[in-house]
A and B are shown apart, each in its own frame.
Chain A
């Protein structure tokens, strides 16, 4: 009973905050749109994204082909729409992995401190010293050119942010009254970390994760733009932009522009969502 009450209370707060800020409504609306496109994309696509049709090659946008067709006569709109699922999977997969692993590692380091903490912080420093995008490139080359490895590489380059954040947040809380109380009450280290500390540092982590989603999409699309990870003919925004880039000099703008815009919209949505979540979860930081 208490649980439902508090969840309706939270929903009401959410509705209140959303009604206050038009931009936040837009953020949640766009986010819902993206998720819908990712789930229903293949069902909604008007054409088969892989079907070639040489008679209709390089057609500009029209009523039949909303975003035009590419050099093989494939429908750009269907390809952009269907690509949403893969791009979202990569982004959510990578951010989910690095958020869970990074916060656990960071929380443990911040809680126990000591030599392990010093050594790990150095390790994170070294990781951060490399240009992260190039590091991801090298990692995909080392692990093998597959989608899973793009997810792993993106997760690893995002890891330092969560480790640092969770470490700092746990570090300031580990001697707080409620943690001491839990310790006196007989809770072990594991229980203190999982039950008392992690839920309390969840909001900064969630905010970081939503901002990170945009970055992960950019990163994955950048990798495939350079020909790493996802392979053609699989529709993916980065590859679609790369394929379209070849036709700019001959004036076929629709092949590169629409996947590029989809990519921009996704990143824009995640950034807006990050701002919105910050306002909702951390009212003190509201501007």
Chain B
């Protein structure tokens, strides 16, 4: 128990460092927000100075950092310069889009890679093993934006089976009332499977694009871990005792082989969050990655700052959870 508390406490310094880093990012980025506000040529230097005071830019860095922390505590992520909206609301409307895509792709990657890795390990040298190796090597070599464009060309332009890659839902369809924020689920709750089906067709290509990216390391890891466990002594003992192959593989080998895979799932998920930016750009997906990217280009830093903070926060949380889970699954591992 004390170990768990200790592990939770130990992520606090990192969290603090992340806060300092996200705070500093907006200070080193070029462009003076006050000048941006005062882009009206009729404004004098005095007006710019007034805005600077209003934004708190005349105070010392440390004071500004405290103000930043205080605002964060109240859930205030700043205001977007280009839209004039609070960043927190903008993020909240876009977060479900990113979360839906990432989770969809993540589940897809797990559903394909783990069985593939297990079968490849059970029959080393077979065609499944070769397939696993090819997918693992190709998967890490495919830049997400090229994969995405290739899929769009094949399935939208040539075959015409995929819808136009413009966001989460056909522009002529109505979004179902928001319950979870995930259109796939909201459509079902609304009793409108047609919307869910349309949203599914939209999410399929970007989902596959991201899944291919995540598949490779997972399949590789599963295969290696499974091979490792299968050659261990307790499996030999189980085999010598005449247990069925099914029981040996599913109960003994699979469970033990999953531990390193579970630990790496967390890493993979965070990598996918980072890759989001490119995939969202290619598929015009209205998520937080595309939002951060657009704000970076228009020199609007509050959204970027919020994006970095949210991403780092999710990363720390995912790492914490995987560590705790690993400790739960295997008391010898994790939390050391």
Q: Which residues does A use to contact B, with CB under 8 Å? A: 122-123, 125-126, 129-135, 137-138, 141-142, 144, 214, 218, 221-222, 225-227, 238, 241-242, 244-245, 248-249, 251, 253, 256-257, 260-261, 263-264, 267-268, 271-272, 287
Say yes or no for B193: interface residue by CB 8 A criterion.
no
Question: In the complex, how many residue pairs between chain A and chain B have their CB atoms under 8 Å apart?
Answer: 125
Instruction: Note all chain A residues with C-beta closer than 8 A to B214.
Output: none
Give the Cβ gap from A232 to chain B, nearest Cβ, in Å: 15
Say yes or no for B75: interface residue by CB 8 A criterion.
no
Give the Cβ gap from A152 to chain B, nearest Cβ, in Å: 13
Q: How large is the interface on B (under 10, 10 to 19, 20 to 34, 35 or more residues)?
A: 35 or more
Say yes or no for B262: interface residue by CB 8 A criterion.
no
Among candidates B30, B274, B281, B316, residue contacting A131 with C-beta atoms closer than 8 Å: B274
Say yes or no for B53: interface residue by CB 8 A criterion.
no
Q: Taking A130-B21, A133-B277, A248-B149 as contacts, is the C-beta distance between A138 and B304 under 8 angstroms? A: yes
Chain B at the A interface: SS class: helix
B315, A134: Cβ atoms under 8 Å?
Answer: no
* Closest B residue by C-beta to A217: B143
B312, A271: Cβ atoms under 8 Å?
Answer: no
Instruction: Note all chain A residues with C-beta closer than 8 A to B276.
Output: 131
CB-CB contacts of B95-138 with A at 8 A, as 1s and 0s?
00000000000000000000000000000000000000000011
Q: How far is it, in angstroms, between the C-alpha of A268 and the C-alpha of B133 when the chains are bound?
A: 13
A138, B18: Cβ atoms under 8 Å?
Answer: no
Instruction: Note all chain B residues with C-beta closer than 8 A to A249.
Output: 157
Q: How far is it, in angstroms, between the C-alpha of A222 and the C-alpha of B144 when the chains are bound?
A: 9
Q: List 25 A-B contacts (CB under 8 A).
A: A125-B14, A125-B17, A126-B17, A129-B14, A129-B18, A129-B315, A130-B308, A131-B271, A131-B274, A131-B308, A131-B315, A133-B275, A134-B307, A137-B293, A138-B296, A141-B29, A141-B296, A142-B28, A225-B278, A227-B297, A251-B157, A256-B149, A260-B146, A261-B146, A272-B137
Say yes or no for B55: interface residue by CB 8 A criterion.
no
